Structure 1
Amino acid sequence: MGARTVGIAMSGGVDSTIAALLLLQKGHRVHGFHMLLPLPQSDAQCRRTQQIARQLSIPLTIIDLRRSFTEQVVTPFINSYQAGITPNPCIYCNETIKFGLLAQTMLQQGMHLVATGHYAQIHDQQGALFLARGIDQGKDQSYFLARLTAKQLQTALFPLGTWTKKQVYAQAAAAGLQRTNQESQDVCFLTQGMATFFANHGFQEHPGPIVSTDGRQVGAHRGIWHYTIGQRRGLGSPDKTPWYVIRLDENRNQVIVGKQEELFTGRCSLHSLRWTYEAPPLPWHGLVQLRSRHLPVLSELTANGAGSWSLSFAAPQRAVTPGQFAVLYKDNRVIGSAVIDKDKEAL
């Protein structure tokens, strides 16, 4: 690749900083872009990014995406939790904000490519571009980028895809860069914790029963949004052996709990299935990742009809959570993704 004009999303953290530095070292014309988001430390983060841009001697444009981020990421997150669903807002943000509105702004301002500090790669398979895992298995972020379309991948660039986190830290030290040790959060708007977040958004306590899978009331909860599948803490267990959240019933305002073995299931239903390119013949067999740090499992995908698909696992999986994404891989390439449906009652 020859020298290009590259826009890079900069947060003030070490990953985007080193990604920008690597682009400069390759001779690209680099322009930083910082998203102004409705976050508790937004002003400090912006000042840190401005300082880094000065250190790198690159221009920096600040884009105010607070309203769009609230509408497209935060509000759906709140609505999902109220419905007893555990969403993954980072995936939606990457699709609609970073590689949506931000990328559109970069391209409109003359950028040829859109870069970020994600640990992922793009593989060219006979002219078709696929998202692929980064080589650092502990930092791979292909799961969070799984909803990017083929069109979005055409202008995407991930300079850290072939780097490890250890190498990134070493590069930062060697370059003498300051204030680059800021790490991004899993969910950036939850830095003050879930309880504080919901309280700040006007959530009132909505008490209800904690019920065992055989229908016995074993406790009480303050609101189903305090819980997610697989959770153990905060249940007030009725005996000394551990209890876990098995599912959430927003219609009855119940938290259903059970023992460890009840967390495992051999299948789940999916909706909103999206393939990167053409849909393969069904049944499809391959590796599926159910959470960001989940060990991929060999699975079979079949169609249920009416926008629903069934995913069967070669081995039972723990805490399969409605609202999370099932990401489908062929080797290390993402070929599709779907949302886990709320059908636990039928399993």
Structure 2
Amino acid sequence: MKVGIAMSGGVDSTACALLLREKYEVEGFFMRLAQPAYDDQKKGVEELASALGINLHIIDLHHQFSQKVLDYFTATYFRGHTPNPCVICNREIKFGLFLETILDHGMDRMATGHYARIECNENRCRLFAGDDCEKDQSYFLSRLDQRQLNSILFPLGSMTKESIYRYVEQQGFHGFRGKESQDVCFLENNRITDFLESRNPAQTGSGPIVTGSGEELGVHRGLHCYTIGQRRGLGISSDSPLYVIRLDTATNSVVVGKNDELFKTSVTVKEVHWLAGSAPSANKKYKVRIRYSHRGSLAQLSLLDNNRARFVFDQQQRAVTPGQFAVVYDGSELLGSGIIE
């Protein structure tokens, strides 16, 4: 079997290549996206591929990345919502166009260093959280489909980060510790607000900061500068702490309130996607994560019309944020996701 290794220059993709070259015929593939330090990263990947003794292919997807990921990222913020670009990139770019290109190069499978596990049989593929719960990346894979899952290998899914560092060091590869990749690759050291304003300066207008009753407390710098649950940087004073509880695009207002106003018992999602191709039973409770950093909470699933769903939680959840993905698990198996309304 021929396997194309998605290489980034980091320890995970290096470990992936080291593990799989013992079993398969492997070649390396590197994406050009919108990395600010692309030339340096490309040089590092070329040196790694040479040290590993594998061929390397450079795949230029920066135009497609801009259209499918950066445009989504920008538009979502200016709608008063909070996006997750990694989820969209995985579906559209990494395991979309990049995967197709790797297969077109004669590879049978694509392998990445993601901390997640895939189990396939003759009927379907199932996606599970990685065994290292601190590094698990299954959340970001919640929009993949059966065709994609059937073409992917995750050789690190049952390993821990520390064991991977030790493994590559035993193989003679050093210098990776302390060089974790950042979540939003295209920002590097730039602030989100600066990035957004550079892409769409026409939509950065200020407006009022108001309470739920309509009392004006100050002026905001643009809805894209705020997110649900934010307390710092509001530039207002009050007798008790105030937090962003809603972004009102109709009135261009940032609505603030007390901490207890941030808690919700239920969440409704749209554009629901089930990895199996069909919905699971609605007669049981599932673990639902409302953001990547959220560890998950039990909730009752209700299926709604127009590809929507509702989750009613056993415990109230703080700072439910429109635009983020609510991801559904049955134990460690990821079932699907929806976009929070």
The alignment's TM-score, normalised by the length of structure 1, stands at 0.93
**For 1:261-340, what aligned pairs fall within 5 Å after superposition?**
261-277=260-276, 278-340=278-340
Distance 1:283 1:302, change over 3 A: farther
Encode CA deviations 1:49-81: one digit per residue, 9 max, x unaligned: 111111111110000000000000000110111
Whether 1:116 aligns to 2:112 is yes
**Which residue does 1:5 correspond to in 2?**
2
**Which residue does 1:244 correspond to in 2?**
243
Q: Is the 8 A contact 1:172 1:180 kept in 2?
A: no
Encode CA deviations 1:63-117: one digit per residue, 9 max, x unaligned: 0000000000000110111100111110000011011000001111111111111
Deviation at 1:203, TM superposition (A): 2.1
**Which residue does 2:170 correspond to in 1?**
174
Encode CA deviations 1:23-50: one digit per residue, 9 max, x unaligned: 123x211111000012211111111111
Distance 1:302 1:211, change over 3 A: same
Whole-angstrom CA distance in 2 between matches of 1:238 and 1:306: 43
Deviation at 1:336, TM superposition (A): 1.4
Counterpart secondary structure, 1:17: helix
Encode CA deviations 1:152-211: one digit per residue, 9 max, x unaligned: 111111111011111111122222214534322111112212122123224254111111
**Which residue does 1:201 correspond to in 2?**
199
Q: Is the 8 A contact 1:267 1:310 kept in 2?
A: yes
Whole-angstrom CA distance in 1 between matches of 2:104 and 2:14: 23
Whether 1:136 aligns to 2:132 is yes
Paired residue type of 2:293: R
**Which residue does 2:217 correspond to in 1?**
218
Whole-angstrom CA distance in 1 between matches of 2:332 and 2:121: 12
Paired residue type of 1:7: G
Distance 1:295 1:256, change over 3 A: same
Whole-angstrom CA distance in 1 between matches of 2:197 and 2:39: 22
Q: Is the 8 A contact 1:285 1:301 kept in 2?
A: yes
Counterpart secondary structure, 1:189: coil
Q: Is the 8 A contact 2:120 2:150 kept in 1?
A: no
**Which residue does 1:344 correspond to in 2?**
none
Whole-angstrom CA distance in 2 between matches of 1:330 and 1:162: 18
Deviation at 1:150, TM superposition (A): 1.2
Q: When the two structures are aligned, how many residues end up with a matched partner? A: 337
Gaps of at least 5 residues in structure 2 are: none
Deviation at 1:240, TM superposition (A): 5.6
**Which residue does 2:147 correspond to in 1?**
151
Among the aligned pairs, what percent are the same residue?
45
**Which residue does 1:345 correspond to in 2?**
none
Whole-angstrom CA distance in 2 between matches of 1:306 and 1:72: 24
**For 1:58-137, what aligned pairs fall within 5 Å after superposition?**
58-124=54-120, 127-137=123-133
Deviation at 1:125, TM superposition (A): 6.5
Deviation at 1:128, TM superposition (A): 2.5
Q: Is the 8 A contact 1:122 1:131 kept in 2?
A: yes
2:46 to 47, 50, 53: 50
Gaps of at least 5 residues in structure 1 are: 342-347
Q: Is the 8 A contact 1:113 1:155 kept in 2?
A: yes
Counterpart secondary structure, 1:190: coil
Deviation at 1:310, TM superposition (A): 1.7
Q: Is the 8 A contact 1:13 1:180 kept in 2?
A: yes
Whole-angstrom CA distance in 1 between matches of 2:187 and 2:324: 17
Deviation at 1:283, TM superposition (A): 4.6
Whole-angstrom CA distance in 2 between matches of 1:313 and 1:157: 34
Q: Is the 8 A contact 1:268 1:311 kept in 2?
A: yes
The alignment's TM-score, normalised by the length of structure 2, stands at 0.95
Whole-angstrom CA distance in 2 between matches of 1:279 and 1:207: 42
Whole-angstrom CA distance in 2 between matches of 1:167 and 1:332: 21
Whether 1:190 aligns to 2:180 is no
Counterpart secondary structure, 1:294: coil
Deviation at 1:261, TM superposition (A): 1.0
Deviation at 1:263, TM superposition (A): 0.9
Paired residue type of 1:330: D
Whole-angstrom CA distance in 2 between matches of 1:86 and 1:80: 6
Q: Is the 8 A contact 2:36 2:187 kept in 1?
A: no
Whole-angstrom CA distance in 2 between matches of 1:172 and 1:53: 14
